[in-house]
Amino acid sequence: MAMDTARRELIQELAVANESKLLLLVADGLGGVAPMTGGGTELETAETPNLDDLAARGTLGLMTPVAPGITPGSGPGHLGLFGFDPMDVVVGRGVLEALGIGFALEPSDVAARCNLCTVDEEGRITDRRAGRIASDDAEKLVRRLDELSIDGVEVFVEHVREHRFVLVLRGEGLEADVADTDPQHEGSAPLAAVARTDASRRTAAVIDEFARKAREALEGEVANMVLLRGVSKRPEIPSFRDAYHLRSLALATYPMYRGLAQLVGMDVADVATMEDQLAAVGESWSSYDFFFVHYKPTDSTGEDKRFDAKVRAIEELDGALPALLAGAPDVVAVTGDHSTPSLLGSHSWHPIPIVLAAESCRRDGIATFGESQCCRGGLGQLESKHLLALMLAHAHRLGKFGA
């Protein structure tokens, strides 16, 4: 049994519907680190009058997405925010890759993350990435693969970029417990697909057939074979509606985050910019209870090691806050899915600043939103998975446990 099941089931049992509105604003990669030379973090450096106002009205804290020291990808980071222990609910790499390009995965679909590769005449891999083939060239080859047909199975092949593509298999009796065909080194042949359970044997056979037909279709090309990894299905998890009686809407400009929101049954708004997001929140205010708004620039600037650009990204977000909160949600949380310090230029394990504002907050007397302030905040340090329960509690959407 997953470790956190009892807590999740308890929350589902206690959840009730009401008229309240909840808004979760995720500034991707929000948390930062101050430079050794002094000064504050990106968030502490930014001028954020609106976030500071929210801090004054709310409670601050620091959230750990998985466990201390663990740096999460976007999948575990968001699953934590959606109330799961990310070690309990794993989203396979095939599924994540499919979500990342906006592929509408059905619950029974099997997805794999694939590479175009190069093999020699004996079938031994000479380049696992086909010389990092250019995207334009790769796309043509991937289109050929999309035309392959396998009896009794629908085959979808979608290009991602360069040598990477996604394979999705749709059909009866396909389970996903199949080992990678990528041996992770050159000099040997791609592995046959090995089913780890009896129920996955058909999937393994289909994958082997796909690889054989792919090799024929790519004969003579630089990229003349395929490697599969992360064969997986969508995790079976209850939707926000079933679990918490929340009609929820995701407002994210990147497909990956829409896909993650769809995993928990959120509806997805068609938005490309922050203006779209603000407009969509306003238009759909009466139709939904829970709004998940995703903001990417805090992460991408951090990844690029651009401290000042991340500061500006935070200031832009702060500027959008009043419009975002125009409907006066009963509960507001602003946080990240993980930290992306521009000092490191990558996702990190550092706890994420959180501000939670609601009428029933026990205010902590802090009126600035920054990592140093959050460290002294009323929420203390907690795992991200607890945020959703706290939001539901402040929205009076959780009944009492026991008499």
Q: Does 158 bind a second copy (CB under 8 A)?
A: no
245: closest CA among 382, 400, 388?
388
Under the binding rule (CB under 8 A), the answer on residue 382 touching a second copy is yes
Whole-Å CA distances, 137 to 116, 188, 216? 11, 25, 18
CA distance 296 to 298: 6
What CA–CA distance (Å, rounded) separates 394 from 105?
A: 33
Figure out which of the listed residues 41, 118, 232, 298 binds a second copy, where binding follows CB under 8 A: 41
- Distance of alpha carbon 253 from alpha carbon 245, whole angstroms: 25
Between residues 131 and 378, which has the closer beta carbon with respect to a second copy? 378
Give the C-alpha distances (Å, rounded to integers) separating 193 from 108, 112, 211. Answer: 19, 12, 9
Q: How many CA atoms lie within 13 A of 30 on its CB side?
A: 31
> Which span (34-42, 103-111, 238-246, 283-291) binds a second copy, by CB under 8 A?
34-42
Considering the complex, state which of residue 119 and residue 356 has its C-beta at the smaller distance from a second copy.
356
Comparison of 167 and 389: residue with beta carbon closer to a second copy = 389
Taking CB under 8 A as the criterion, the residue among 34, 54, 114, 207 binding a second copy is 34
- Residue 68 within binding range of a second copy, rule CB under 8 A: yes
33 interacts with a second copy by CB under 8 A: yes
Q: In the structure encoding, which two tokens stand for residue 80, read together? A: 């934590």
Q: Which run of H or of E encompasses 303?
A: helix 297-303
Closer to a second copy by CB, 188 or 360: give it: 360
Looking at 185-193, 213-221, 319-327, 343-351, which segment touches a second copy (CB under 8 A)? 343-351
Of the candidates 159, 202, 234, 347, which one interacts with a second copy according to CB under 8 A?
Answer: 347
Q: Is residue 219 at the binding interface for a second copy, with CB under 8 A as the rule?
A: no
235 binds a second copy (CB under 8 A): no
Among 70, 104, 134, 192, binds a second copy (CB under 8 A): 70
For the bound state, the minimum distance from the C-beta of residue 93 to a second copy, rounded and expressed in Å, comes to 6
Regarding 359 and contact with a second copy (CB under 8 A), the answer is: yes
- Please state, in angstroms and rounded to a whole number, the distance separating the CA atoms of residues 117 and 134: 13
CB count within 10 Å of CB 4 equals 17
Site for a second copy in 91-130 (CB under 8 A): 91, 93, 96-97
Contacts of 120 (CB under 8 A, 6+ apart): 126
Closest CA to 233 of 115, 105, 114, 89: 105
Quote the tokens at residue 86: 């990310």
Rule CB under 8 A: is residue 390 a binding residue for a second copy?
A: yes
H runs (alpha helix) in 82-200: 93-100, 135-146
73 binds a second copy (CB under 8 A): yes
Give the residues lining the site for a second copy (CB under 8 A). Answer: 3, 6-7, 10-11, 14, 33-34, 36, 41, 62, 66-76, 86-87, 90-91, 93, 96-97, 341, 343-344, 346-351, 359-365, 371-372, 375-378, 380-382, 386, 388-393, 398-403
